[in-house]
Amino acid sequence: MVNFIFGIHNHQPLGNFGWVLESAYERSYRPFMEILEEYPNMKVAVHISGPLLEWLNENRPEYIDLLKSLVRKGQLEIVVAGFYEPVLAAIPKEDRIEQIKLLKDFAKKLGYDAKGVWLTERVWQPELVKSLRQAGIEYVIVDDYHFMSAGLSKEELFWPYYTEDGGEVIAVFPIDEKLRYLIPFRPVEKTIEYLHSLDDGDESKVAVFHDDGEKFGIWPGTHEWVYERGWLREFFEEISSDDRINLTLYSEYLSRFKPRGIVYLPIASYFEMSEWSLPAPQAKLFVEFVEKLKEQGQFERYRVFVRGGIWKNFFFKYPESNYMHKRMLMVSRLVRNNPKARRFLLRAQCNDAYWHGVFGGVYLPHLRSAVWENLIRANSHVEVGTFVRDIDFDGRDEVFMENGSFYAVFKPGYGGALFELSSKRRAVNYNNVLARRWEHYHEVPGAATPEEGGDEGVASIHEVGRRIPDEIKREMAYDDHLRAILQDHFLDTGTSLDDYRLARYPELGDFLTGAYDYSTFEGGITLWRDGAVAGKPARVEKSFRLTGDGFIVDYTVRSETKALFGVELNLAVHSVMENPEEFEAEKFELNDPYGIGRIAIELDKKAKVWKYPIKTLSQSESGWDFIQQGVSYTLLFPVDGELRFRLRFREL
């Protein structure tokens, strides 16, 4: 007989659309638990994240009642994590403990005293042991890949182990990767056969499946397969009645058996994450390397030595994510002793908007907006003022300014541009805009996943190759710079809007990403750069001050080269889909009713305006997403000598 633990992890990101949660509930969460109730001998370890629990509690209280009933019957073991599903390794230890205790408290309301942790995205860091133990956790669930990365063989991965840090000890269970690709994508008998094959007479042997609950009804093709064609009922029936399989739970197993020994796990996540977290060129090479090993029949033999990047690489890969994360760390320190602000801060630690894999993640504006909303609301409980500091740890100082209505953060070392303009009243960051960048899967149709092959069942997301539609290819472009507000361009007078928006033009000047000198004054900052345009001297000076409803900036531009001078404002317009447009104006308005709201841009002289949507191509569980990350507004003036103008930005 072999022990078998079956677990699911249900999560919806903070800020996800209500209709998405409704659909997920009807297609997966509700039918799964209702069918489980029909099989009283079936046991499931379940983790449900805080954002989803809050929605369920408010919108589907009957589901909460069903969970309580299943706990009372002994069919459910509640496994916790950080309440708002943070990557624990990416947040301060004080926040880790508070996040875990919040979900433990909710589990108690369901009738369960939780002692185990589902590790978000299975991102392991050895120093987590101390935080987990301090939060009252006795065991944690990670991937078998973590153990293999520590040098254990596949044959040694059917038992939990102890791991230790600084004298604190915790049990760690390995999730069986083969089961992750069998369940629920292949016929039930494939899982039964595999579990039977593990039975060698060792009564302490345990196989663990614990994976996304969304695979049971939400992933493409799975609702029909799992529910309409009866996979889940058959699975529960066969597993719970097979006398060669002992269905158990983590706590039950640990009450019967001790972990096998001690291991030291390296910083790791699951195998796919090690591909996704690599910079795009290296990710492409990683996929090629894995595929080459597979072709040679060598992958399984050497896979223990095949490792890509770690989760925190996403902060290198996506500077926008890094800035958001470091602002979160900054706010965490500021509000540590402020209970009202803390809840907003903890919400802002929800992991999804900080990274990207097969799901949209950082590419989904509404997820980033939810993080920014909560960061701003938390920050608003404390007064910061003006300071100069390297906020995002990129080696260059930022200038942080605050008045009663806004936060403004300049990067003098990167074009002297405004990289955060956050409204306290609206709780939005007007520069929540992601740059267009090449991803390795734009060229690689598949992914480096050790899939379980076969024609039967339904394909996993990881097994689906995709090609980019031609209509998207025609509009694709990649940026060679980050997106900000008050970015300074010098363009050839013959440049067209299409040249500009599709990144098919040369910058004549060195101002877009060059370093600016600066000095601060009360309520504002003056930035200037002496550079070159087409090899001839040029100077840009901009004097900025925050106002009660926005900002005013005065520009002085000198150039010995005849050119177009452009001031670009990249604004987080997400709910109104825009098209490229060219017009002339001294004043114009934009209205993003479900996003940043109404804004007026006012000038003291007429300018040509180029407007276009900034669209990125990312992969998701549904295929390709061509997403508007924001809208670029560039105000253009001819310059041949000296140019002066004033620009005003106003909330309406």
Q: What is the CATH number of the domain that holds 542?
A: 2.70.98.10
Residue-number span of the structural domain to which 257 is assigned: 2-269
Tokens (6 digits) for 542: 């901009």
Number of structural domains the chain divides into: 4
Catalytic residue among 77, 95, 98, 121: 121
Pairing of strands 161-165, 517-521: unpaired
Q: Is residue 390 part of a domain?
A: no
Contact 432, 372 (CB under 8 A): yes
* Residue ranges in the chain whose pLDDT is less than 50: 452, 462-464
Q: What is the pLDDT of residues 470-521, one digit of tens each?
A: 889 999 999 999 999 999 999 999 999 999 999 999 999 999 999 999 999 9
200 and 341 share one domain: no
Domain edge (last residue) among 308, 327, 358: 308
Kindly state whether residues 528 and 647 are assigned to the same domain.
yes
Are residues 197 and 294 both part of a single domain? Answer: no
Please tell me whether the peptide bond between 184 and the residue prior to it is cis, using omega within 30 degrees of 0. yes
User: Which ranges of 348-445 would DSSP assign to H, the alpha helix?
Assistant: 365-379
Give the residue carrying structure tokens 């260059």.
Answer: 396
So what's the pLDDT on residue 448?
A: 54
The verdict on whether 451 is a catalytic residue reads no
Q: Is 359 in a helix, a strand, or coil?
A: coil
User: Does 405 fall in a domain?
Assistant: no
Q: What is the pLDDT of residue 463?
A: 46
Check whether residue 294 and residue 333 sit in a common domain: no
Handedness of CA 91, 92, 93, 97 (dihedral sign): negative
Q: Are residues 218 and 364 in the same domain?
A: no
- Does residue 229 share a domain with residue 106? yes
Are 369 and 507 found together in one domain? no
- Does the reported pTM lie above 0.85? yes
Q: Is there a single domain that holds both residue 92 and residue 110?
A: yes
Q: Phi and psi of 279, rounded to 5°?
A: -55, 145
Q: Is residue 407 part of a domain?
A: no
Q: Does residue 338 sit within a domain?
A: yes
| 130 plus 73 within the same structural domain | yes
**Are residues 301 and 314 part of one domain?**
no
Question: Within this chain, do residues 54 and 145 fall inside the same structural domain, yes or no?
Answer: yes
The amino acid at 133 = R
pLDDT score at 574: 95
Q: 3-state DSSP: the chain helix, strand, coil percent, rounded to 5?
A: 35, 30, 35
Catalytic entry in 37, 199, 212, 234: 212
CA distances from 304 to 151, 252, 580 (A): 7, 30, 50
Co-location of 117 and 136 in the same domain = yes
- CATH number assigned to the domain comprising residue 101: 3.20.110.20
The answer to whether position 491 is within a domain reads: yes
Residue 446 lies in a domain: no
SS3 track for 89-130: HHCCHHHHHHHHHHHHHHHHHCCCCCCEEECHHHCECCCHHH
**pLDDT of the residue at 425:** 97
- Of the CA atoms within 13 Å of residue 216, those in its CB half-sphere come to 27
Asked if residues 636 and 583 have their Cβ atoms less than 8 Å apart, the reply is no
Tell me the residue ranges of DSSP E strands in 43-92.
Answer: 44-48, 76-78
The C-alpha atoms of residue 18 and residue 133 are separated, in whole angstroms, by 35
Within a domain: residue 391? no
Q: Which helix (H) or strand (E) holds 500?
A: helix 497-501
Residue 233 lies inside a defined structural domain of this protein: yes
Pairing verdict, β 76-78 and 116-118: unpaired
Calculate what percentage of the chain has a pLDDT beyond 90. Answer: 91
62 is catalytic: no
pLDDT of residue 460: 53
